[in-house]
Amino acid sequence: MQFIGKQIPANEQPNDGFKVSKLKLAIHSVLIGTSAILMVNPLIASAEPNAEITLEVVDVVAPALSDTRPVKGYNAKKTTSSTRTDTELRDTPQSISVIPQDLIKDQSIQSISQAVQYVPGVTAAQGEGNRDALVFRGNATTGDFFLDGLRDDVQTYRDIYNTDRIEVLKGPNGMAFGRGGAGGAINRVTKEAGWDPIREVTASYGAYNFKRISGDFGQALNDEVAFRLNAVYEDSGSYRDGVNIERYGFTPTFTIRPSDKTKIVLSAEFFEDKRIADRGVPSSGTINANPSVANPDFNRRPYKIGDQDQFFGNARLSPTETETIAFNAKIEHAFDNGIAVKNSTRYAHYDKFYQNVYAAGAVRSNGQIQLGAYRDDTTRENLINQTDITYTAKLGATEHKLLAGAEFSVQDTTNKRLTPTGGENLTPLVSASNPFVSNIAFNTVSRDQKSDVTVAGFFVQDQIKLSPKWQAIVGLRHDNFDTDYTDVQNRNIIKASDNLLSPRAGLIFKPLEPVSLYANYSVSYVPRAGDQLTSLTVTNSTFKPEKFTNYEIGAKLDLNSNLAFTAAIYQLKRENVQVADPSNTGISMLLDGQETKGIELGLTGNITNKWSIYGGIALQDGEVTKQQVNANANNTINKGAELAQTPDRTLSLWNKYQINPMWAVALGVISRSEMYAASPTASQSTLLPGYTRYDAAIFGKLSDKLQLQLNIENLTNKEYALYAHNNNNITPGSPITGRATMIYNF
């Protein structure tokens, strides 16, 4: 039986936030006034006057949440990123995983790749050791990263010191985000200033000289203005020889509420990430003459994956650094007539360079390997403005939440690449037992380009309550995407314009209030300029953009007030893939490209008042649907070839158990089946074996102010390949490692 009453104040809640207890209610025969009527159970009506009734409470309302802590526990309830309106996850017809603050802290997460390890349907990729890269349902991306719904568009590593939660949207998201979002998107929701004071310092120390400290400080300045500052500094080594990381940043934020109908949020960020660009180890083994996977023993495997620390190339000559300076502003206002307006602006300046010396091929039968080297410099300026207007209206028996809006953005990019004399591939070959080269001069310009992109997008959407059991959502977005591309080196100027029309339609059936069954259709596009807006050529400038179409049906079920189960079945198609024509060297053509079919299951929240859980299972089949050819026949990708870094099965499960108010423990498991580093061709097909890894943690709340925790990764010291960039850049997984963290509130 569930008792619904006054919400218990947060400072009176037990440490685990939930408590099964017995409440003794004295029910008297005479109640004064109808406002004092208490309906608990029909049996009460037959109780004797002045009788005492004992009720067993099996589920209580969660603690009141502060304005600096919008989500408590592992189970988020709402999101705005998919529909651009404040909508229950249960009423959103799309597969979405939210990584909340409690999970970020419990798993000691500091990066995007760490964050998605327990998210079904998403895997991290290597990104050449200089950027975040993800694979959504068989589609790799470096450009589908967002911050509070605005594009965060540069190839770099993102820290989450100033992030409250991470929303992982799966399937095309053209309606919500415009271009890109082909297989999915990542949206970081930042920490906002609020009127509840926060004083928190977090310090970590761990294996391989891991050192990190962060601070979160906030308070009300007066009744109308609140301030918050998040800052971080990290200086860490690695299990890989010569690899290290140094990064630091700070984000001041102001929240202003001049009235109860207006909210203004202003923030800025300075962040610098410096590290060694590590592209892992190469492959070795017999070349597979048949790209069929019938006998995977004929495929190449990672070279000496058990030797996790060996750096191929030169770590000292492989630095990467990105500086980010950004300003953000958001204003929301609700008018008396029911119209609400939100306007968001982001200006960001990115300055990045990376230089790397890496394995440029497989280890040969004579034990030698070719190394490659280049230096790449990029600067980018983004200016993005979005406006959303919402209005709720009733038309007869139906209720409509209407949305209309616009987005305007300008993105200016310059990029230059330098190589040694003779090109990226270095000579002579070196021994794989000592894969080192020194004193490289980067003195030859191999690429010098710039692009100016302007986008004007307009969108409309209607979320319709047809009846208590039926809901629908329909939306349409149009983007005009203009690219002015200049190949400075070859003196080519290319102008291209795309008009992208991205529809979205969903239907929801709710047989019971905690249950939603849905069907969804969505489309998204990637223009020929590519993820990073610098892939335009004379050949492809007139080509249609790549098109991604997703069909999805699913179910969402709240098993209790804080435990959610989700299931989705989908088919994602990719069309207009650019390939080379083998009969016309230098000429490209478009083909229907690939298809991914899959099932995703997720479970988040509390099994009991002491047992929290987060994880899921993804089963997927990704393949090329039409032969993708190249002028070199050995590089042809045959129809039916598997998609790169798309395992047939992934499983993840994180469990935390609160032993008592002071102590808690956690155990996690991450497992995936084998996968190809790149789609297999007639000449190359490197197979990354499957693996299962176990993680654990111990938590001690020594006082109201002090918490300690110990996180251990790879308990069994498993040797495995974590992810890859291509057939010969493969990152070995870390051996067993530990990290101790202190969280102090004052």
Task: Tell me the per-residue pLDDT of 98-156, one tens digit each, with 9 for 90 and over.
Answer: 999 999 999 999 999 999 999 999 999 999 999 999 999 999 999 899 999 999 988 89
Delimit the domains of the chain by residue range: 1-65, 198-745
Burial 131-154 (b: 16+ CB within 10 A, else e): bbbbbbbbbbbbbbbbbbbbbbbb
3-state percent breakdown (helix, strand, coil) of the chain, nearest 5: 5, 55, 40
Task: Look at residue 93 and give its three-state secondary structure.
Answer: coil
H-run or E-run covering 106: helix 101-106
What is d(CA 308, CA 305) in angstroms, rounded to the nearest whole number?
6
Rounded Cα distance between 177 and 150, Å, is: 8
User: How do 22-26 and 52-56 pair as beta strands?
Assistant: antiparallel
d(CA 86, CA 149) in angstroms, rounded, equals: 13
198-745: CATH, from 2.30.30.140, 3.60.15.10, 3.30.360.10, 2.40.170.20: 2.40.170.20
CA distances for 517 relative to 76, 174, 276, 307, 509, angstroms: 19, 22, 47, 48, 5
- Going from the first residue of the chain to its last (746 residues), give the mean pLDDT of each consecutive group of 10, the final group possibly shorter: 34 36 29 28 33 33 59 92 94 96 96 95 94 94 93 92 96 90 92 95 97 97 96 97 96 96 97 96 66 48 82 96 97 95 97 95 90 96 97 93 97 95 92 91 93 95 96 96 90 89 97 96 87 71 86 96 96 84 56 90 96 97 84 70 94 97 98 93 85 98 96 96 94 96 96
Q: Is the peptide bond before 428 cis (omega within 30 degrees of 0)?
A: yes
Q: In degrees, to the nearest 5, what angle opens at C-alpha 593 toward C-alphas 588 and 599?
A: 160
Q: Return the SS3 of 401.
A: strand
DSSP character at residue 240 = S
- The reported pLDDT for the residue numbered 45 is 33
The whole model's pTM is what? 0.87
Residue 519 backbone phi and psi in degrees, to 5: -135, 145
What number of other Cβ atoms are within 10 A of residue 708's Cβ? 14
Q: Smallest Cα–Cα separation from 473: which of 490, 487, 491, 460?
A: 460
> Can you tell me the distance from the alpha carbon of 281 to that of 302, in angstroms, rounded to the nearest whole number?
7
Q: What is the pLDDT of residue 292?
A: 43
Q: Which neighbouring-strand residues pair with 415?
A: 378, 449
